[in-house]
A and B are shown apart, each in its own frame.
Chain A
Amino acid sequence: MGIAGLTFLPVIGAILAIVFAARAKKQILTSDLEGMGLAKAGRTLGIIGIVIPALALILFLLRDNVRAFIDEFFDLEIMKESWSFLLRGLVVTLELALVSEACILVLGLIVALIRISRIKVFRFIAAVYIDVIRGMPLLLQIIIIYFGLSYLGLNLSRFTAGVLALTICYAAYEAEIFRAGIESIHKGQMEAARSLGMTYLQSMRFVVLPQAVRRVIPPLSNEFIALLKDTALVSVIGLGEMMLRARELMGTKASVTPLVVAAFFYLMITIPLMRLVQVMEKRLSKGD
């Protein structure tokens, strides 16, 4: 506790610094503005003077736990041993996400078009599909599809079952995004196209959809980021994507470090994507 006691000295010094700086600022405000920057710097230094010793104190008091935490989560040896195995898992994760996304875009658009069709029964069916799927956890859907279909004699590979489950689930969400996009296009566009003699489908394809798709690219990209993360759930049926591999390694190495490496890999993909979506959103809002 002797050393810990010493840390109180900078704290007291810092508090004094803040008080002086504040007083200096007040004086300067009434007369000379030149000293303002210095006073502010003094205050900042004072705050740092409090924060750093306080953190040091906490770390010192918890030093055994901190050491154990770093050993468990950031074990450099285990990182070296696991990164290539996990990277191969990331390839599977990306394949799963990309193949699924392609299917989702097609199914989602079809469901959206059925959802807004003029035939009541079609609209109803699409609405039920969307509600049922959105009302259940994805994890449950993956398990039902994989095991349910195998009971029905359909032995899908884990990858195919994963693509199928993700497609069925995400298509329901993306159908709603497509629908919102289509409905956001002024109805005068459809009317103008129809008045030229184009059929409903021609008007949709050449006039409404090109505009709607442009508007839904940012929300669809956000869905893709969510999908990329949700591929981890497919590990539940034993597909060797990154999450499953990380959990395997966690068992064999008796360490959490592989999960940290996996987290890093996920972020390497998702963070640039998130920035990209922001750029697209900005550009779209300017364009309109």
Chain B
Amino acid sequence: MIETEDENTEKKTQAEQSDGPMIRVLGLHKKFEDFEALRGIDLDVLPQQVVVVVGPSGSGKSTMLRCINGLEQATRGQIFIEGIDITHHATDINEVRQKVGMVFQSFNLFPHLTALKNVTLAPIKVRGMDQDEASEKALKLLEKVGLSDKADAYPAHLSGGQQQRVAIARSLAMDPDVMLFDEVTSALDPELVKEVLDTMQDLAREGMTMVVVTHEMGFAKEVGSRLIFMDEGIVVEDGDPEQVFTNPQHPRTQEFFSKILSHI
């Protein structure tokens, strides 16, 4: 009821910025009760970039991702997705979310639906796609994540890694332009991490724009085209992954890497 459409302004801004960044975050602040999670984030994510976001827990990485697809409302600042300001009250957030896929730490598959139905639900209900078309597409996506034989399995009968790959297929079914990954391997048993990272790497190779919050430094180095280090609600360091790893500029980044890399 509150979310009204204003297509004219949407189209105009989109046209103006069509060559601009996929995601543009300007002066983003987020306050929870008495805790300031984000204290002024500025970030441009260009098409086909794989931005890896690292930082200590509580640094605001997840909150930033959640703001980018509107799961949390910004306290202050603006967020543009392909030029559309999602913090503007006239923006239809549901429309924008179709362009932004999100994968969660806890998978959040729908337990009452099979893997296939998990993938077809949104295309059918949101896009109005017919059942057969949606199933065909879903099967292709499940094949892509290596799970075509699990189409009829319920989430409870899948391993964590399999569930997470179904979740990725589910997001891809809406043909998003950007994918957000929120610590997607943190809840997985160590031996299941690789299959999920491999799937993400394939996506990156195909040119998907991705923002990946993770603790997997190997992935950051190999797949990331850019690395962002966050701490206490701000971006502390932003650059080429190899460079940030080998030669971090900021003392807080140096301290963080020295702590997490000392056991490798």
For A209, the closest partner residue in chain B by CB is B112
Interface bracket on B: 20 to 34
Min C-beta distance of B239 to chain A, whole Å? 29
Binds B, one of A10-18, A67-75, A188-196: A188-196
Residues of A186-231 whose CB lies within 8 A of B:
186, 188-189, 191-199, 202, 206-207, 210-211, 214
Assembled-state Cα–Cα distance A28/B107 (Å): 62
Residues of A within 8 A of B108 (CB): 186, 188-189, 191-192
Binds A, one of B20-28, B53-61, B96-104: B96-104
Assembled-state Cα–Cα distance A198/B121 (Å): 9
Residues of B140-180 whose CB lies within 8 A of A:
167, 170-171, 174
Please determine whether A196 and B104 come into contact, CB atoms closer than 8 angstroms: no
For A213, the closest partner residue in chain B by CB is B112
Min C-beta distance of A26 to chain B, whole Å? 54
Please determine whether A197 and B122 come into contact, CB atoms closer than 8 angstroms: yes
Min C-beta distance of A14 to chain B, whole Å? 57
- Which of A192, A193, A199, A210 gathers the greatest number of chain B CB atoms within 10 Å? A192
Query: Would A211 and B112 be within 8 Å (CB), given that A194-B71, A194-B97, A196-B170 are in contact?
Result: yes
Residues of A within 8 A of B14 (CB): none
Residues of B within 8 A of A188 (CB): 104, 106, 108
Q: Kindly count the residue-residue contacts between A and B in the assembled complex, taking CB atoms under 8 Å apart.
A: 63
B259 contacts the other chain (CB 8 A):
no
Min C-beta distance of B101 to chain A, whole Å? 7
Residues of B82-134 whose CB lies within 8 A of A:
94-95, 97-98, 100-102, 104, 106, 108-112, 121-122, 125-126
Min C-beta distance of A119 to chain B, whole Å? 9
- Which of B69, B109, B110 gathers the greatest number of chain A CB atoms within 10 Å? B110
Residues of A within 8 A of B94 (CB): 194, 197-199
Residues of A within 8 A of B110 (CB): 189, 192-193, 207, 211
Q: Which of B109, B111, B126 contacts A197 (CB 8 A)?
A: B126
Residues of B within 8 A of A198 (CB): 94, 121-122, 125-126
Q: Residues of B at under 8 Å CB distance from A? A: 69-71, 94-95, 97-98, 100-102, 104, 106, 108-112, 121-122, 125-126, 167, 170-171, 174
Q: Residues of A at under 8 Å CB distance from B? A: 186, 188-189, 191-199, 202, 206-207, 210-211, 214
6 contacts between A and B (CB under 8 A): A188-B104, A192-B102, A196-B101, A197-B174, A199-B94, A207-B110
With A194-B97, A195-B100, A198-B125 given, can you name 17 additional A-B contacts, CB distance below 8 Å? A188-B106, A189-B110, A191-B71, A191-B104, A191-B108, A192-B110, A192-B170, A193-B122, A194-B71, A194-B94, A196-B122, A197-B126, A198-B121, A207-B110, A210-B112, A211-B111, A214-B112
